[in-house]
Amino acid sequence: MKTLIIIRPDSVLRGLVGEILTRFEKHGIRIAGLKVMQLDKEIAGRLYEIHKGKPFYDSLLNTMIESPVVIAVLDTDVLDNQSAIALVRRIVGATDPSKAEMGTIRGDFGLRIDMNIIHASDSVEAAAREIPIFFRKEELVKYKC
């Protein structure tokens, strides 16, 4: 199973990248791809196309392009796709940091909903759509167990 996370600009600026990646690794989730990027509006628009037309869309794009992000493809072979996505989402926490449980990434580090630390694919279909926006197949490593 592979899924995508993006450590958002607010997290990168606060120096939380290592802490965030470590939380996934402690759960046996491996990093299959990793990049530091400065997103532009076109790429951010492709990522968040499902939100186009919503009141927060322009603000979301502007937040995502203001500073660098760290993009990772996470991989685990011990869970089926749905269970793996659910585990990643549980580690990440609720979208609104004020509603996220302590011990989750957003619960521990999130400041407000527009600075919610991390993007994580919310379904198998989303991961399949989002990963190719940032990574070619040959850029992702495969682990031998």
Identified catalytic residue from 119, 131, 134, 135 = 119
Q: Which tokens is 33 given?
A: 């791809």
CA distances from 141 to 21, 34, 48, 76 (A): 16, 10, 26, 12
Distance CA 145, CA 143 (A): 6
pLDDT value, residue 83? 87
For residue 145, the model assigns a pLDDT of 66
What pLDDT score does 1 carry?
85
Has domain 2-37+69-135 been given CATH number 3.30.70.141? Answer: yes
Residue 84 confidence (pLDDT): 87
In this prediction, residue 81 carries a pLDDT of 76
**Mean pLDDT per 10-residue run, the chain (145 residues)?**
95 98 96 98 96 95 97 86 89 95 97 92 95 97 84
Beta-bridge mates of residue 120:
5
- How far, in Å, CA of 35 to CA of 63, rounded? 18
Which 3 state secondary structure label does DSSP give 64?
A: helix
With beta carbons less than 8 A apart as the criterion, state whether 8 and 69 touch: yes
Determine the pLDDT at residue 143: 87
The question of whether 119 is a catalytic residue gets the answer yes
The model carries a pTM of 0.94
